[in-house]
Amino acid sequence: MKVLITGTAGFIGNELAIQLLNRGDEVIGIDNINDYYDINLKLARLDRIKDHPGFTEARIDMKDREPVEELFKKHKPQRVVNLAAQAGVRYSLENPHAYVDTNLVGFTNILEGCRHYDVEHLVYASSSSVYGINTKMPYSEHHAVNHPVSLYAASKKANELMAHTYSHLYNIPTTGLRFFTVYGPWGRPDMAFFKFTQKILAGEPIDVFNYGKHRRDFTYIDDIVEGVVRVLDKPAKPDPTWDSNNPDPATAAVAPYKLYNIGNNEPVELMHYIDVLEQCIGKKAEMNMLPLQPGDVPDTFANVEDLVNDMGYKPDTTVEEGLKNFVEWYKDYYKV
């Protein structure tokens, strides 16, 4: 297939591009290489794919309508995976406009490209953050998510609503994936597992929010990418059992629309995660125990039954294995 991926210099987008190129697909990659975190890491990720004969790089910003439209017009991708976004819960308190520009304006440009150039399937990144102050565990796609606690989460919920509208109006198959705390080699420096590793190795204290009482459904990058590929290959369809008197948020009656959680289905306490990380590094952490931060939620726990039933798939990498792989990569990449 010819697949357009937004965010090919990003953590998930880069790994997905590698998998699709390795199986023989053609990939057109969009990324603006912004400076939200170290651009050298982003460029190093791109170095992994830039010379592949099936890869075409487009150094453009999603929020710029004309370049995005020209890209769709020129390449006419069969399928699209939208992974580019302004990420980060806490940063959304500091720079809200970045989330509007990329996550709302940029996503609209992608939807319009899919509409006008007959894209067969749009898969897009949502987030576990959409569950907000929901406390019923495990989180299910069939629960209402009307109470986000950060603009980042609200923008991801908006993406789901926007996708539904385009599926309904223009019969575009769209599938949203609610990612749960993705980690692993080539990961994002703004995420806790990366910061913890950096500081422990440097002998600096780590900030442990909510006094370490978080539970997170940590999901390894390889498991995430396998799930994305399986979903990409199976376009969403209408749900003939959908009931307008009891509307299911995860499906639709006439629109080819679907939402999935993609997590490890096994939440891990943050203190256990840190303990495993210490063992992998071979060094104890000094900790600053701090209260819950604005925009954060105490726990996440993904119900992945739909993903298992519809795609025959369930993530299964343990944090022990995943963190070992990450620490080995980190030490090699940063030569420490």
Per-residue pLDDT reduced to its tens digit, 282-331: 999 999 999 988 867 778 889 999 999 999 988 889 999 999 999 999 99
Q: Mark whether 131 is an active-site residue.
A: no
Domains (ranges, CATH) in the chain? Answer: 2-334 (3.40.50.720)
Angle at the Cα of 261 from the Cα atoms of 97 and 270, rounded to 5 degrees: 80
Average the pLDDT over 138-154 and give the result. Answer: 94
Average pLDDT over residues 215-221: 92
pTM across the whole model: 0.95
pLDDT > 90 in the chain, percent: 84
Q: What letter does residue 253 receive in the DSSP assignment?
A: S
pLDDT in tens, 88-136: 777 777 888 989 999 999 999 999 999 999 999 999 999 999 999 999 9
Candidate list 152, 183, 257, 273, residue with the active-site label: 152
| Residue 63 confidence (pLDDT) | 96
Position 238 pLDDT exceeds 90:
yes
Q: What share of the chain is helix, strand, coil (3-state, %, to 5)?
A: 45, 15, 40
What value does the mean pLDDT of the chain take?
Answer: 94
- pLDDT on residue 88: 75
The predicted pLDDT at position 317 comes to 93
Count of all residues that appear for the chain in the document: 336
Most confidently modeled range among 11-20, 261-270, 311-320: 11-20
Using the CB atoms, write b or e for 188-221: b if 16+ within 10 Å: beebbbbebbeebbeeeebebbbeeebbbbbbbb
